[in-house]
Amino acid sequence: MNHSLIPVIAIDGPSASGKGTVAALVAQRLGFHYLDSGSLYRLTALAASRAGVALDDEPQVAALAAGLPARFEAGRIRLAGGQGKDEDVTDAIRSEASSAGASKVAALPVVRAALLERQHAYRQAPGLVAEGRDMGSVVFPDARLKVFLTASAEARAERRYKQLMEKGMSANITSLLQDLQERDARDAARSVAPLQKCVDAELLETTQLSVEQAVQAVLGWYRQRLR
C-alpha cells in the first residue's frame, strides 16, 4: 500500500498533559499502530550514556540513533547491549536522568534527522497514532488529523502528583507545578522543534475532561475526516 494513503493521527502537547494516555487509547480503539516518539529520544540518550558517548557529541549520538538496537514487544522496550545481551529498559528510560538526557539529544538537529526514517517506518496499515513534539509539523505533515492536547499547569501538576502517589513515590505538588512551568517555558523557547500548536491542529483543552471524554473528542474529529 502507498504509504501516503495510510492515515496518521498526530498528537502533541506539553508534558503531563495526558497525551500519551489518550494517544495509546485512540490507537487501541481504532486498531492502529502507536508511536511514542519521545521514547526514541529517551532510548538514544540511554544508549549514548551506556556507550560512553557524550550527549553533546552530535555525530556520535546521531550514529547511535540511526542504528538504535531497540525492540518494542508487548508493551516492553528492550535495548541490545554488547555481546548479544539485551536488557529491558522500559523503566530505565522513564527515570529523571533519561528525561534530562532525552531533552539534550532532542535539541540536536542531526539526531532528529537520524530518527526520521525510523519514525516513518511506523506508518503501517491500517493506520498510526503518533505522539510527540514534531509529529504533525515535521514527521507526518500530511497527517489526517492533528491534535494539540493541553490542560492548565495546575491540572497537569495534580495529575502527575496522583500518578506518583499511585506508584508509591513521594511528591510535592508545589514543586511539581514549578517544574512544569519551567519546562513549558524552556520547551516553548527552544530553537529546534519548539512546543507549539500547528495552525492546522485541533486544540483539545482537557482541564475539565476525563480521559474517556478526551479519547471520544479525538475519535469524533477523526470520524468527521472520514466523511
Chain residues that interact with ligand DC, rule: CB under 6 A:
15, 37-38, 41-42, 102-103, 106, 132-134, 193
Closer CB to ligand DC, residue 5 or residue 34?
A: 34
Least separation, in Å, of the C-beta of 18 and ligand DC? Answer: 12
Closer CB to ligand DC, residue 7 or residue 14?
A: 14
Residue 50, Cβ density class (10 Å: 0-12 exposed, 13-18 middle, ≥19 buried): middle
The CA distance from 52 to 61, in Å, is 10
Closer CB to ligand DC, residue 7 or residue 38?
A: 38
Least separation, in Å, of the C-beta of 85 and ligand DC? Answer: 25
Q: What is the DSSP letter of 191?
A: S
* CA distances to 19, 48, 107, 150 from 55, in Å: 27, 7, 10, 30
The residue at minimum Cβ distance from ligand DC is 38
Least separation, in Å, of the C-beta of 38 and ligand DC? Answer: 2
Closer CB to ligand DC, residue 40 or residue 155?
A: 40
The total number of residues written for the chain in this structure: 227
The CA distance from 47 to 181, in Å, is 29
Least separation, in Å, of the C-beta of 84 and ligand DC? Answer: 28
Least separation, in Å, of the C-beta of 37 and ligand DC? Answer: 4
* CA distances to 25, 62, 130 from 29, in Å: 6, 35, 14
Terminal Cα distance for the chain, rounded: 21
Closer CB to ligand DC, residue 102 or residue 155?
A: 102
How do 128-131 and 86-88 pair as beta strands? unpaired
